Amino acid sequence: MTLPPAAPVDVRGGVELPARRSDVELHTSDGLALVGELALPLDRDPVATLVTLHPLPTAGGFMDSHVIRKAAARLPALADVAVLRFNFRGVSSPRGRSEGSFGEGEAEAADLRAAVDLVRAAGLPRPWLLGWSFGTEVALKHGRSVDTAGLLLLSPPLHRTSDAELAAWNGSDVPIVAVVPEHDDYLQPEEARARFSVVPRAEVVAVEGGKHLWVGEKQTSRVLDEIVARAAPQALPLPVTWPPVAGGVTPA
């Protein structure tokens, strides 16, 4: 739901805060058109940009996967951050279907480049790659080929990313932050620290009680806080009402 600007509400669930939102089309080097949405702060220039990379398409991942959708719904207003979300090749959502077919994390390299190209063409600042699950594999495997401010990795499974591909990031100095749930189904914090140890500067943030899908407002808010802490730290703490109210309390 879209809120009237003067109606203070709790920022939670499916709340969509004011932003300039536009449908976009990404064009890959292998000739595909991908569908997406770009959300910008309503009346200011963004201070940073999130290029979001969604979870595994064959397990239901798409541009509306909830953490990505909530980042686009909240962060342009709360943190002055631009959010680009799109469907990888072959993926459908209410926005439409991207051309092509699932590429097992390899062909999606062209999708990532197309997304960063769109951000650069639009003159948007500081593009962070925000991957979730499968999206982290695309970021880690192919992110070195694009100009990025850093990697934000939610629930990285590291199924498709080899130790050699991880170690290759030692040739770059961009920040790498892995946000790892305590109860992840695929890679839990202790193992994540061991796998990421080949990139000594990589930061592993263990989230107590967290699960792979980050279900529930508490987990969603924690993830968004970790994202903003890197991409737009001046916006913390994020308001819990909109419009923001002193002390974070919505008037009666």
- What's the pLDDT tens digit per position in 28-63? 999 999 999 999 999 999 999 999 999 999 999 999
Domain-located, residue 63? yes
φ/ψ of residue 226, rounded to 5: -65, -40
Host domain of residue 192:
20-235
Q: How far apart are alpha carbons 186 and 238 in whole angstroms?
A: 30
Domain-located, residue 124? yes
Domain-located, residue 106? yes
User: Is the pLDDT score of 194 beyond 50?
Assistant: yes
Domain-located, residue 125? yes
85-123 residue pLDDT tens: 999 999 999 999 999 999 999 999 999 999 999 999 999
Domain-located, residue 7? no
Q: How far apart are alpha carbons 10 and 89 in whole angstroms?
A: 35
Q: Which two tokens stand for residue 87?
A: 């469907």
Q: Kindly tell me the burial class for residue 225, based on how many C-beta atoms sit within 10 Å of its own C-beta (0-12, 13-18, 19 or more).
A: middle
Torsion sign across C-alpha atoms 180, 185, 190, 196: negative
Domain-located, residue 9? no
CA distances from 35 to 20, 103, 137, 138, 163 (A): 17, 16, 21, 18, 32
Look at the chain and report how many structural domains it folds into. 1
Domain-located, residue 251? no
Residue 215 has a CB neighbour count (10 Å cut-off) of 12
Residue 104 has a CB neighbour count (10 Å cut-off) of 11
Residue ranges of E strands in 58-158: 81-86, 92-93, 96-97, 127-132, 150-154
Whole-structure pTM value:
0.94
Domain-located, residue 170? yes
CATH for 95: 3.40.50.1820
